[in-house]
Amino acid sequence: MRPGVLTRTARVEDVTELVSLCLEARAELMVGAQLCTDDPVRLREQLLMLLNAPGGVIVVATLDERVDGLLLARIVGPGPFTDAVVLTLESLYVRHSARRRGLGHALLLAAVDIADQAGALEVFASPLPGARGMHRFLAQAGFAPAAAHRVVTTAALARRLTQDPVTSAGAGRRPSRHGLEDLIARRRQARAREEDPLAPVAATGTHGARQARMSISMQVSRAVQSRRPPSSSTVTS
């Protein structure tokens, strides 16, 4: 840590400066609401909520006693499904005029101390896709890719689920009309083979179902003709 650079836990009186830093980060990164709201009043409320929430972490970095950097994080775990504790970094930002002075490095050192005190074995970060500088900074610090994330807006998810309520393959799916015809044809063929193993087997599918019906009709016609009395037959000389 360079001379003049200090880190400490944020205090309530720091919130006004933190609001300014967050809005500056939003304007610089051009990611809009993905980073934070542009409403200073609402942003102040959210920062105060994080500051007072169980597991909430806000660290400030000062350069010559001026707040020029921030780190927002949460201690997550243990939970119902895991005993693991992790420190999740939500935001890390250093004012443009104070960069290359060691503030980002100092903020990560503070995060390591907090993780150690909480018993967190891992520090997790999910920088925004457009924050290339932050991606490079975290990679240089040793952060490795962990897993792919997927995201969808609530409105888009609701619309998709409403349009296509069957989300898993085959779950709750109604059989089609052609599927029923195929099933009936296969069952008829199976019964026919049981009654007469030498009977020809018709093709499957809708066309096969029609062929099966035609074959049955022809067999019935031949059976009727074979049972007619001899006088009814026509003989040509």
Residue that wins the pLDDT comparison between 26 and 129:
26
CA dist., res. 112 & res. 23, Å (int): 26
Residue with the two structure tokens 């003049």: 4
Q: Tell me how far apart the alpha carbons of residues 4 and 177 are, in angstroms, rounded to a whole number.
A: 78
pLDDT tens-digit map of 53-76: 999 999 999 998 899 999 999 999
Of the chain, the percentage scoring pLDDT greater than 70 comes to 70
Question: What stretch of H or E contains 89?
Answer: strand 86-94
- What are the structural domains of the chain? 5-146 (3.40.630.30), 177-226 (no CATH)
The full DSSP string for 107-145 is HHHHHHHHHHHHT-SEEEE---TT-HHHHHHHHHTT---
Q: How far apart are CA 15 and CA 3, in angstroms?
A: 25
The predicted structure's pLDDT at residue 79: 86
123 falls in which pLDDT band (50, 70, 90)? Answer: very high
| pLDDT at position 210 | 56
pLDDT of residue 233: 42
Output the pTM of the full model.
0.63
Q: What is the mean pLDDT of residues 205-216?
A: 53
